[in-house]
Structure formats: structure tokens, C-alpha cells
Amino acid sequence: MRYFIKLAYKGTDFHGWQLQPNALSVQQVVQEALQMLLKEPITILGAGRTDAGVHASQFFAHFDFDKVLNTDDLVLRLNAIFPDSVVVYTIFKVSDNAHARFDALSRTYEYRIFLGRDPFLTDTVWQLYHQQLNVEAMNKAASYLFDYADFKCFSKSKTDVKTYNCKITEAHWEQKDAHLTFTITADRFLRNMVRAVVGTLIDIGLGKNTPETMKAVIESRNRQKAGFSVPAKGLFLTKIIYPNNIFA
């Protein structure tokens, strides 16, 4: 039987979701906890990879187990042994061929910026002070993302992928007081893509480039033409959508 697990994690202390040979990952923490409680070897597969320091307020993974589980009890027991930076919300049975990664229809990320300094936000936002950003220009530039499909310019170099095509359906900035959030939704994302997009938009917001520069950057298909990669700590995976038919 296949089970989905819905969880969240603060990525500060982890080297991403994916198992690493010599570094602590979220996958390792979850997998080892399940193996200890279920007393069987367990392999858990996540909805995707998040880089070191990136957070997830909503994340899904799946694992197989050949017995009927008391999922409510398992949630309580997992949360009792997880570090404070990881929490599981629910565990539920799905169809046997459901896949946390390949069945995802879309993913939504938020990049969070604080225009000032706040010691209580150190790990979860990128703090920019003494900087003035033109949010209107950044939103105009972000709107050009809808006109393209190939985003090789925002992909991490030497990435082994079959295609650089992504369908972006949402991309916009919203400011509330000193808090500035960029939200982007797509059917898939390339490695480092969101952080590179944000870096490109920040350069536009600072007046280093015009909104129309975004078109030339995308059409170049050259990572060196895009902006810098913003710090990981401001990035959150916030939503993953699946088709209803995968649920048992």
C-alpha cells in the first residue's frame, strides 16, 4: 500500500530535501524516523528537491508499507521525535501508482524579502536595507515570463535535464508594509530557477536594468545573462497540486 505524507520544514539546518552522503537532509530525518517506528526498511520519495537552506510550508512525499497504518497515531509519534524544524501534518493512503513527484500538476514558491532589519526573521527572509525597489517595474518584468516556455537562462549550469520548458501560470510581487513577496507557480521548475528569476527581477527593481531586459535575458538562453541567485533562506515551497484521481 502506498501512503502520502504531508509535511513542512524549516530548511536552515538542512542541506536540502534530497539524501546527501555527508550532510543532513530532510529526507534522511523523515526516512530514519519512519524506519524506527515501523521497524522495516522504508524508502520515502519527495515531491521534488529543495536546495540547502530552502524551506517548505507544504511538501509531500510517498512511501510503501504492506500493512494498514493507524495514520493519526503515526503522525503523533513522528512529531514526538522530529526536530523542531520538521513537522508532519497528515498521512493518508493513495492509489498504488500515485507518485509524489511525477503526479504533481503544479508547484508554487514564494520568495520573501524584508525591507529593513529584524533579528527574528534572520533565517526565513532575505533582509534588504538602505535599498529602494521599484515594485511596479519588477511586476512588469515578471509578466513577460508568461510569454515564454524555455527558461534555460535561469537554470543552474551543467544540469542534466531533457527539457528547459516550463509553463508559468503565476508570477507577481506583493508588498505589505516592509514585507515584499514574490509568488510564482509553474508545472515544473529547473534547478535554482526561482532564485535566478528573483535575482533578475531585483536588478530591475534597483534600476540596473529595464523591465524589457527580461525578454532579452530569456531569449539568450544564457545563465550568465540573468541576474544573481538570491539567498536560499528567503525561498519557500508553499503549495503542490495533484489530480484528485490519485487519492484512494
Active site residue 64: no
d(CA 129, CA 192): 24
Beta bridge partners of 108: 185, 239
Rounded to 10 degrees, the C-alpha dihedral 198/201/206/208 comes to 120
Sign of the Cα pseudo-torsion (153, 226, 167, 237, in order): positive
d(CA 209, CA 93): 49
* Sign of the C-alpha dihedral computed for residues 176, 199, 164 and 236 taken in this order: negative
Write down the catalytic residue from 13, 51, 103, 147: 51
Catalytic residues: 51
